[in-house]
Structure 1
Amino acid sequence: MSTSELSITKRRLLGGIAIAAVGFALTACSDAEDKAASAEPKPAVSNETTASTTSAQIPTADRDVDMEEALKPGPLKEMALGDPNAPVKIIEYMSMTCSHCANFHVRTFDEIKTRYVDTGKVYFIVREFPFPQDTASLAAFMLARCTTEERYFPFVSTLLKQQSAWAAPADGDVRNAMLQMSKLAGFTQESFDACLTNAQLAGDVSAVRDRGAQEFGVQSTPTFLINGKAYSGDMSVDSMSALIDSML
């Protein structure tokens, strides 16, 4: 995309949207460079495996985190699935325009949900992490928050699975592409505009990101906080399964 085309995209997206940040990044999974988000976390050989993860290696954590503090809700209601008393607790910090976040939700999340969330073994929380210059991700999260609680995860899943359709449309009109996707979730032009002009919501979503960065060291997406450890980067079903199984 040329500089002039990018400028047009910014204006189209930002028109009528109460977002303080300017700029637009499509698949930036870190604020500066992509770092290691395009690969799975560095693996370490496990001494114990299950039948379903025999060939998988358990990812090595980047650092320790205070999970008790991490599990305290921020300015927005937690969007979570599963039993809060499950033995394994996962917090995913993600960006709606990150290709690696999309890959995780397309290839890994549904299977992990079936194996572990639905069976009471994992409590899974999704938290917003739109980078400061990424207004498209911020707008997408705002729209997700403007749906009903029951529609939040299906809407997020749809946006991630069709990421290129709205984040990089052929005509460059991101705002209109987002509107068309939102209409499938029951938005009207009026409710779409009302959501994206909600300055309080924009601030609260950004505050979730800022807390993740400042208190838990989140710098790239996806980042997973799992039972007191932080892991950055996409994970396959086998890798995440091996990690979860090692904690059960």
Structure 2
Amino acid sequence: MRLPRRSLLAAAALAAPFASSAQGTDPRLSERAVGNPKAPVTVMEFYSLTCSHCAAFSRDTFPEVKQRLIDPGIVRMVFRDFPLDQIALAAAAVARSLPAERYEAFTKTLLASQDRWAFTRGDPIVELGKMAALAGMPKAQFEQAVNDEALKRAILADRMAAEREFNIQATPSFSFQGGGKVVNQSGNMSFDRFQQLVQQVKPA
């Protein structure tokens, strides 16, 4: 059962003091990204694994972004966890407990199959465990991840920092950065709009 957003924010506030120390020592909290680190444009995506609009962006727009902007070295995409509920928080903890190179594929799979695990009539955590097993995560590791309160506090603290720094009000939200310019945009968008925003910050 999902907790009200207010409850998750309260938990994030409690988590704030733990953020910097955890991120400095836990490799699971290192940056998750795809694309050339030297790409002229960096795009941060703030998303929740239980957000249907995030799933739509992942399904309808991201494949073209990857093919036309990331793979050619124009954009580096950085994924920032912004869980909207406890199920999304547990899923983010599981995703970050996989090897970093499996993070993108696993999260894209979760977004594409929300009806199978996040919105199931059964227990979402049980269904999430099945998805994790398909990704090669042993049951013991899965249980450790979903019960790792320190990891979840750190994820929530990062979410809280993103709210302060980027004024995130909805998911998905994006921060386009390049050439000293920053453009922030909320909501799902088409590839054409995404490309327009990339061009706005891309160095000449």
Pick the TM interval, shorter chain: 0.7 to 0.9
Percent identical across equivalent pairs? 37
What stretches of structure 1 of length at least 5 have no aligned partner?
Answer: 1-9, 11-21, 26-30, 32-73
The residue aligned with 2:42 is 89
SS class of match (2:61): helix
Aligned match of 2:196 in 242, 245, 248? 242
The residue aligned with 2:167 is 217
The residue aligned with 1:103 is 56
Distance 1:24 1:195 in 2: 22
Distance 2:49 2:64 in 1: 20
What stretches of structure 2 of length at least 5 have no aligned partner?
Answer: 10-21, 24-28
The residue aligned with 1:174 is 124
Displacement after TM superposition at 1:166 (Å): 0.5
1:5-45 deviation line (CA, Å, top 9, x unaligned): xxxxx3xxxxxxxxxxx7168xxxxx8xxxxxxxxxxxxxx
The residue aligned with 2:3 is 23
The residue aligned with 2:26 is none
Aligned match of 1:208 in 148, 154, 158? 158
Displacement after TM superposition at 1:85 (Å): 2.2
The residue aligned with 1:146 is 97
Moved over 6 A (4+): none
C-alpha contact (below 8 Å) 2:41/2:75 kept by paired residues: yes
Of structures 1 and 2, the one with the larger relative CO (CA 8 A, separation 6+) is 1
Displacement after TM superposition at 1:239 (Å): 1.6
1:212-231 deviation line (CA, Å, top 9, x unaligned): 01222112111100021110
- The letter of the residue matching 1:137 is A
Query: Under a length normalisation based on structure 2, what TM-score does the superposition of the two structures give?
Result: 0.82
Which of these two proteins has the greater Rg computed from alpha carbons?
1
CA RMSD of the aligned region, Å?
A: 1.8
Displacement after TM superposition at 1:245 (Å): 3.5
Query: Under a length normalisation based on structure 1, what TM-score does the superposition of the two structures give?
Result: 0.68
SS class of match (2:168): coil
1:165-223 deviation line (CA, Å, top 9, x unaligned): 10111x33111111111110112221111111112111111111010012221121111
